[in-house]
Amino acid sequence: MPMTIKEKFNISGKVAIITGGAGMLGREFARTLLEYGGDVVIADISREKGEEALNELKQDLKGKLSYEYVDITSKDSVNEMVKAVQNHYGKIDILINNAALDPKFDKINGFKQDSSFEDYPLELWERAIATNLTGAFLFCQAVGKIMAIGKGGVIVNVASELGVIAPDHRIYIKKSDPDKITFKPIDYPVTKAALIHMTRYLASYWRDKNIRVNALCPAAVYTSQGEELVENIKYRTILGRMSRKDEFNGAMIFLVSEASSYMTGANLIVDGGRTVW
């Protein structure tokens, strides 16, 4: 008998690692996987936020939930954490590479608001590369090694709509101060674009190992940004609004479950229609 649609979305008994799991979207993904029966390991560099996430998500426990410290920019730290999860659960079925730095130009230490791309510090570029791209690379290596010699698995790389389109820097210009230099830092869009292509590469590389690799591209999430910025983004989406933080959960459970069994190397865009035009 073929699986029903309901059965395909069920991930009971599956073990999932979510990097950046203590962050806003990480917690949403953890909650969703728990709801559908998965065992979830929140991997995060912040022990404080990791404990907060555990306390917040306890009410959603259908699967098991735990927190593991990891510095995703360190190969030793990643390997140690993955080994600990493997030893505890005996397997790893799902990896969600969600951790990322998304610096706002006006909230970066040592970077003046009136600076420009030409003055963007090399150390900030390198830090983003290490976190957004190298971190996913290291986790794919460590977890992929386990999946390749086992029964396979699923990897989802969380990219961004800005990995598909260039940022419209006009969004960030304020009418009250139109001459002020303002822009989206280069590192986030570039690393997210690279992550999408790494997804394609790994899907092709593990073609015969029963490892499916897909990317998810979320849109900007409304988090009480300034009214002018929100209006600028709303104007550029077909649905006429920014996203809620829970609006990517359906796409995520689809990607990590058997519901997407014939899907690999793909990039699922959930952006309210912004990249259509």
92 three-state secondary structure: coil
- Tell me which amino acid residue 147 is: M
Q: What does each C-alpha distance from 4 to 1, 9, 61, 255, 259 come to in angstroms?
A: 9, 9, 24, 16, 9
Residue indicated by tokens 């690379």: 137
3-state percent breakdown (helix, strand, coil) of the chain, nearest 5: 45, 15, 40
Chain center to CA of 21? 9
As given in the structure block, the two tokens for residue 251 are 């796409």
* Pair of tokens at residue 39: 């065992």
Exactly one of 36, 188, 201, 262 is catalytic; which is it?
A: 188
* Count of residues making up the chain: 277
Q: Tell the residue number behind the tokens 């970066």, with chain if given.
A: 108
Rg (CA), the chain: 19
CB-based contact 236:168 (threshold 8 Å): yes
CB neighbourhood size of 226 (10 A): 10
188 carries an active-site annotation = yes
Active-site residue numbers? 188
